[in-house]
Structure 1
Amino acid sequence: MNIKTVRQTAREKLKGYCRVCPECNGKACAGEVPGMGGMGTGASFKNNVEALAAFRINLRTMHSAKHPDTQIKLFGQELKTPILGAPIMGNNFNMGGALNEEEWAEAVIQGCLTSGTLGCTGDAPDPAMYFTGIDVIAKAQGRGIPIIKPREQDEVLNCLRRAEEAGALAVGMDVDTAGLVSMKVGPKSVEEMKAIISSTSLPFIIKGIMTVSEAEMALEVGASAIVVSNHGGRVLDHTPGTAEVLPEIAAVVDGRIPVIVDGGVRTGVDVLKMLALGADAVMIGRPLIIAGYGGGADGVALVLRRITNELKQAMLLTGCATLSDINIDVLF
């Protein structure tokens, strides 16, 4: 199996939902939601890619960082790479259904584990899809992270209980999906988030932070980590790219909890840029959709290993021996 065959297979299985473009930048699929595109004009999706691409890197080759180490500790786990699988469910809605929900979740969870990292499962209009992901995580001895939509409080609490029963390492909520018309979801107040987080012993991740004020709220309600994300540009048109807002959010969090980011990350160089801008780790979504549909768990592992190797090469050429060495001085 190689990247070329994975992409060819994915193009066939995702026909009508994703073109598997040479460059995944949101231009060809603007407005295609359901599908893999960005909301409305697609500006938010495109802003993610363009904001990240705008940063330049300082090349440094006179140093002693000869064997870069990409290991990181998150949620009590020693990971080989700071690249996590993003939460994605709802294959019939967005990806055409060539894989069922269980097959998709297993591709992500097992592919991530094989490559030494963690994957997330998602939530969707049909609650059975969330529980399918939970079952896959349970079969993996809890080594996965289920992410819940901002459902009604009693539904969220039920989802939390199931995550605990599965032995999940952590749990979270993608609060940026509060406006989805396909689900009974809505914004969560500070009081509601406090009640949710205090009801579980699991580390709780808030995904969908795009402002300093909401990062401060996440700290206030007791989040164990945040994900800077605009949901891949799929919920609100004309938001900034995540790379634009990441530095000030990371600054206000100031190392108190991990800051994870997604949005437009396609290569190891992109990962390096996000870490230099203040992230502790990144999540990737669309590249893993192509990988999972094109090669199952093996395809996911293949892509994750490739991006991790690209990150190591970028660290070698910027003088970074460990992830903690990657800082703003890497950027031009």
Structure 2
Amino acid sequence: MDFNTIKTTAKEKFSGACRLCPVCNGVVCAGEVPGMGGLGTGAAFRHNVQALADCRLNLRTVHSVKNPDLSCRILGMELSLPIIAAAIGGIGLNMKGAMPEEEYTGAIVSGCRQAGTVGMTGDGPNRVVFDAGMDAIVKEQGRGIPIVKPRETNKVIELARQAADAGCPAFGMDIDAAALVNMTNAGQPVGPKTIQELEHIKNNTTIPFIVKGIMTPDDAEACWQAGVDAIVISNHGGRALDHTPGTAEVLPYIAEAVKGKMTVLVDGGIRSGADVLKMLALGADAVLLGRPLAIGAIGGGAAGVAFILNKFKAELSAAMTLTGTPQVSEVPVEILW
């Protein structure tokens, strides 16, 4: 298996839902929701990519770092690299039926396990989305993290308990889907959560609780006050609210507020191992990878997902060597220009 074969196969199966542009920056697919693009003008998607592009790495080669350590411990999980697959649900809707939901989630969860990390699975108005993810996780002995929509609090608790029973190491809620119209239209209302509601969810679950979709220090502080175990700095891939800043822009401020108090994850515009290193230098403990792994899954199944992750792993190792960074658990901001 090689990268060109994965891309060629994926492009054919996507049927235009993703053009596999030479630079995946949200320009061509702006406004294509459903689809792979960003909402409205697509500015939030573009800002994610541009914010990372604006970060520059200091090249250093006079040092003793020859074999950097990419392993890390996230929420009790030992990972071979600081990359987790982001949850992308509703493949039929967003990707023009490029792959059945069950096959897609299976590829993500299995491919991540093959590469020594873990994949997240999604949720949606059709129950098959959540169930397909849970089935894939069960097949991999609980090695996956289900992410649910910000449903009514008791429903979130019910699904979190289902995740715990399946042996999942954690569960999460993508609170940035708080205005998702298709959920409400399907009779499954979603919305923002108060600190008290987050605290109630945390107090009624037995596994670590992740809140995805945090973009300000005060929201991060609120999650910490509620006892949340981890946050994901995310603007939903630019698909929730137009004109937000890029995640790399807000990450340092949020990390300054809560780093060390809780696990800080981030997604948005990450296209290489060097981008991963930039996010770690800006304050993240690990990153979530979405669109690149969707291409891997559609183009090559579980093996395609593992291939993309190992490609990022090699790029990250090279970037660490060329910046004198010995381990991913301690990436100094000084590696950035």
User: TM-score w.r.t. structure 2 length?
Assistant: 0.97
Q: Which runs of 4+ in 1 moved over 3 A?
A: none
Q: For structure 1, which runs of at least 5 residues remain unmatched after alignment?
A: none
CA distance in 1, matches of 2:111, 2:259: 32
Structure 1 residue 292 corresponds to structure 2 residue 297:
yes
Deviation by residue 1:62-95 (Cα, 9 ceiling, x = unmatched): 0001111100011222111001100111011101
CA distance in 1, matches of 2:259, 2:79: 22
For residue 29 of structure 1, report the CA deviation from its aligned partner: 0.1
Contact 1:9 1:295 in 2 (8 A): yes
SS at match of 2:232: strand
SS at match of 1:290: helix
CA distance in 2, matches of 1:63, 1:115: 29
CA distance in 2, matches of 1:6, 1:176: 31
For residue 160 of structure 1, report the CA deviation from its aligned partner: 1.3
CA distance in 2, matches of 1:254, 1:282: 14
Question: Bigger CA drift: 170-179 or 184-193?
Answer: 184-193
Letter of the 2:282 counterpart: L
Deviation by residue 1:304-332 (Cα, 9 ceiling, x = unmatched): 00001100000000001111341110000
Which residue number corresponds to residue 43 of structure 1?
43
Root mean square deviation, CA, Å: 0.9
CA distance in 2, matches of 1:208, 1:325: 24
For residue 22 of structure 1, report the CA deviation from its aligned partner: 1.1
For residue 138 of structure 1, report the CA deviation from its aligned partner: 1.3
CA distance in 1, matches of 2:99, 2:55: 36
Question: Bigger CA drift: 215-224 or 320-329?
Answer: 320-329
Structure 1 residue 88 corresponds to structure 2 residue 88:
yes
User: TM-score w.r.t. structure 1 length?
Assistant: 0.98
For residue 242 of structure 1, report the CA deviation from its aligned partner: 0.1
Contact 2:75 2:263 in 1 (8 A): no
How many pairs are equivalent? 332
CA distance in 1, matches of 2:330, 2:257: 20
Which residue number corresponds to residue 313 of structure 2?
308
Which residue number corresponds to residue 269 of structure 1?
274
CA distance in 1, matches of 2:259, 2:240: 28
Residue 229 (structure 1) aligned to one of 221, 226, 234: 234
CA distance in 2, matches of 1:200, 1:49: 35
Deviation by residue 1:114-166 (Cα, 9 ceiling, x = unmatched): 00111000111112311221121111111110001001123212211211121
CA distance in 1, matches of 2:106, 2:40: 31
CA distance in 2, matches of 1:164, 1:254: 26
For residue 16 of structure 1, report the CA deviation from its aligned partner: 2.5
SS at match of 1:62: coil
Question: Bigger CA drift: 15-24 or 313-322?
Answer: 15-24
